[in-house]
Amino acid sequence: MKKNILIVPGDGIGQEVTEVGKKVLIKIAEKFGHEFIYDEALMGHVAIEATGNPLPDETLEKMRASDAILFGAVGHPKYDNDPTAKVRPEQGLLKMRKELGLYANLRPIKLFDELLGASSIKPEILKGSDILFFRELTGDIYFGEKGRKNNGDTAYDIAEYSRYEVERIARRAFEAARTRSKKLCSVDKANVLETSRLWREVVQALAPEYPDITVEHQFVDSAAMMLIKDPRRFDVVVTANLFGDILTDEASQIAGSMGMLASASVGDSTGVYEPIHGSGHDITGMGVANPMASVLSAALLLDISFGLKEESDAIISAIEQVLKAGFRTRDIADSTTAPEMILGTDAIGEEILK
Amino acid sequence: MKKNILIVPGDGIGQEVTEVGKKVLIKIAEKFGHEFIYDEALMGHVAIEATGNPLPDETLEKMRASDAILFGAVGHPKYDNDPTAKVRPEQGLLKMRKELGLYANLRPIKLFDELLGASSIKPEILKGSDILFFRELTGDIYFGEKGRKNNGDTAYDIAEYSRYEVERIARRAFEAARTRSKKLCSVDKANVLETSRLWREVVQALAPEYPDITVEHQFVDSAAMMLIKDPRRFDVVVTANLFGDILTDEASQIAGSMGMLASASVGDSTGVYEPIHGSGHDITGMGVANPMASVLSAALLLDISFGLKEESDAIISAIEQVLKAGFRTRDIADSTTAPEMILGTDAIGEEILK
Ligand SMILES: CC(C)[C@H](C(=O)O)[C@@H](O)C(=O)O
Ligand SMILES: CC(C)[C@H](C(=O)O)[C@@H](O)C(=O)O
């Protein structure tokens, strides 16, 4: 198979982990006889520094021309501490999602058995958890009009959803539920928000088309609690952009660490694959970032964008073997881990490549 | 002390638990020689059934005339399953908050040592956790304009904050931090939302007035994760209405169960004290609901609205004794609890009264 893959490392530890993800892709191509052609592009803070624009046109063009994108992270504390900054790395991320029509963000939350002890949640609560989140990614309060009035003293953000936007993400979630345990949980805040009431209406209206799927509706506050109390209650979860942002980060604790979680953003054309952890400026340059989320993003890329299931499974099993052998990065080590088994980004990358 | 207390049990288990809360208030008045005069009023689904209005004018008048309100819960599955319902119990709740100017919702999350085992989170992660949430309660996407356009195919909700709204809740949080460990964490989504950027601006601008307080800003997604990973990092947390709704429900797991958590909604006049659990229709009428959140709400009422610290502490220590004696309700029992120690709502209420 011949494919164009664009590498967009972005900011902070995005640079460090994406390099490992790319190496794994190169190795897979070698082993399975594919031809992957790589290009690289700037985004986020590094792009602002170089061009003034968090998502330069050149990057967007390269993205459009690619078959899939392996992405790192964007963000920099400089902007976080300055709420008045006009240009921000995140604008690039949001623009990419919108321009490429990446309306479905898939976040599989699966716990590797070896990491049962790494979570703050009790192993007996976690064991067997396996959740697939569908987060809507191009609507909601992220993309509605926002601004100031009253001389800047009042700020507003408009949340908005249209029927077709809810429908297309809900359909993907229903379809996925078919291939899994046939349970779908839709999360909203329909007791308060009009967008949530539309959301619930649409999901309810689709349900008869999927008579084999059991649909449940949960309020976001209750879901945030239940995810921790009893994660095994959940299988496929579908929710709006903002709720998905919060719940999937929270759910990362089910997998032991954010450092283990990959995500796929897909829509009608190319797909973007990225760790759910951010740019991690507190540990940037220290060489300790966990590259497994980037490696698992590469696995998702092969599976979802290229349909290469065997190649994808090979990556997951490599990670399983590294974990079984006892190797850990700092974030997933626990009190029983021997210091010499705690490896840095590149060293654990080498183990995965083996 | 002579005071008027309005009892508003509301819907579902609200009825059952508030009765216990009231009994405890009666007992305290007896023991400490206060004169509490009680009145009762309808709200929520029961008020809709009786009057067509989730918050009848009569209830609102009684509320205005009271010195404090002990509240249960509102809600009914009937409305949840019908996103097109025009009248809903929650409208009464939101209207009450707005009309009474209850802009500050305090939710203390404290784990009773006896319940260390009841949580899904590991005891060694939880031990010593003690968080005080300040959730803004009369602004944000809860109260902005909302509606439909395009023939009902597009729904919108407007989130809005003005400087003074952020300032008054932030000041309360800063003041509270002074009486505790002098750490304040402000939670927002300033990398995406304009309301959050205003929020952050205002908190940053106030900080120099409280030089003794260390202020930290966290994004809501990251805070949702950190709360579970390392709850002891948090002390006083201040956040917007919607984020507060989600994070405090999630944080209930830190206290072992939602059934243990009370909240105070205060502003410029009377205060409303209520459990954070909802109307619990799945267990309504079974007599198994945990009344301790209502009893702890009564304790908060005495402390915050009447300044009766000793009386409030007496209630908390009664609950401690009941837990030490090994009594549990179903929600906080674990595998080590003997069946005969698991009591119903009234029976555990009697133990608390003793
Ligand atoms: C960086 C930020 C804008 C982004 C989001 O909120 O979507 C991130 O948290 C994510 O989940 O991808
Ligand atoms: C019932 C609902 C409207 C309410 C809210 O979202 O504020 C509840 O969840 C709460 O936290 O008091």
B84-117 pLDDT, tens digit each: 788 989 899 999 999 999 999 999 998 888 888 8
User: Where do the domains of chain A lie?
Assistant: 1-105+258-354, 120-255
CATH homologous superfamily of domain B1-107+258-354? Isopropylmalate Dehydrogenase (3.40.718.10)
CA max distance for chain B:
62
pLDDT, average across residues B2-24? 95
Catalytic entry in A39, A130, A245, A346: A245
Amino acid at B36: F
For the domain made up of A1-105+258-354, the CATH class stated in words is alpha beta
Higher pLDDT, A228 or A353: A228
Q: What is the mean pLDDT of residues A169-177?
A: 97
Rounded Cα–Cα distance for residues B252 and B219 (Å): 20
pLDDT at site A269: 85
Helix axes B194-206, B163-178, angle to 10 degrees: 50
Which residues have a Cβ under 8 Å from the Cβ of B57 and sit 6 or more positions away? none
Confidence band for B36, pLDDT divided at 50, 70 and 90: very high
Ramachandran area for residue B137 (φ above 0: left; ψ -120 to 50: alpha; else beta): alpha
Residues from chain A that touch B158, judged by Cβ atoms under 8 A, are: 156-159
**pLDDT higher at A268 or A237:** A237
Query: How do B130-136 and B236-239 pair as beta strands?
Result: parallel
Window B:323-352, CB contacts with A under 8 Å: none
Q: Give the tens place of pLDDT for each residue, B126-160.
A: 999 999 999 999 999 999 999 999 999 999 999 99
Smallest CA–CA separation between A202 and chain B, in Å? Answer: 10
Q: What is the pLDDT of residues B173-216, one digit of tens each?
A: 999 999 999 999 999 999 999 999 999 999 999 999 999 999 99
Q: Which residues of A touch B204 (CB under 8 A)?
A: 83
Within an 8 Å CB–CB cutoff, is residue B159 touching chain A?
Answer: yes
Closest ligand 2 atom to residue B263 Cα is: 12
Average pLDDT, chain A: 94
pLDDT band of residue B321 (cuts 50, 70, 90) is very high
| Ligand with smallest separation from the Cα of B96 | 2
As a whole number of angstroms, the distance between CA A61 and CA A66 comes to 9
Q: What angle do CA B246, B250, B254 make, to 5 degrees?
A: 150
Average pLDDT of the segment spanning A231-248: 97
Task: Tell me the average pLDDT across A84-109.
Answer: 93
Q: A 46-65 residues with CB below 8 A of B?
A: none
Strands of chain A, DSSP E: 2-10, 35-40, 68-73, 104-110, 130-136, 146-149, 154-162, 183-188, 214-219, 236-239, 262-266, 271-275
Residues with CB under 6 A from ligand 1: A 75, 90, 93, 245; B 191-192, 221
The rounded distance, in Å, linking the Cα atoms of A255 and B145 is 39
The answer, yes or no, to whether any atom of ligand 2 lies below 6 A from the CB of B55, is no
Q: Is B93 in the pocket of ligand 2 (CB under 6 A)?
A: yes
C-alpha span between A309 and A278 (Å, rounded)? 27
Annotated binding site of B for substrate, which residues? 97, 107, 135, 221
Round to whole Å and give the CA distance between A13 and A17. Answer: 6
Calculate mean pLDDT across residues A152-172: 98
**Rounded-to-5 percentages of helix, strand, coil across chain A:** 50, 20, 30
Gap between the Cα atoms of B8 and A221, Å rounded: 23
Ordered alpha helix ranges (H), B9-161? 13-32, 45-51, 57-65, 77-80, 89-99, 123-126
**Pairing verdict, β B68-73 and B2-10:** parallel
Percent of chain A with pLDDT over 90: 80
Highest mean pLDDT, choosing among A76-80, A301-305, A341-345, B280-284: A301-305
Find out whether the beta carbon of B267 lies less than 6 Å from any atom of ligand 2: no
Mention the CATH class of domain A120-255.
alpha beta
Q: Is B250 in the pocket of ligand 2 (CB under 6 A)?
A: no
pLDDT tens-digit readout, B240-291: 999 999 999 999 999 888 889 999 999 988 999 999 988 988 888 888 899 9
Global pTM value: 0.94
How does pLDDT run across B291-309, given as a tens digit for each residue?
999 999 999 999 999 999 9
pLDDT of residue A116: 86
* A81-85, A157-161, A253-257, B87-91: the lowest-pLDDT one: A81-85
Nearest CA, atom 6, ligand 1: A245
DSSP B328: B
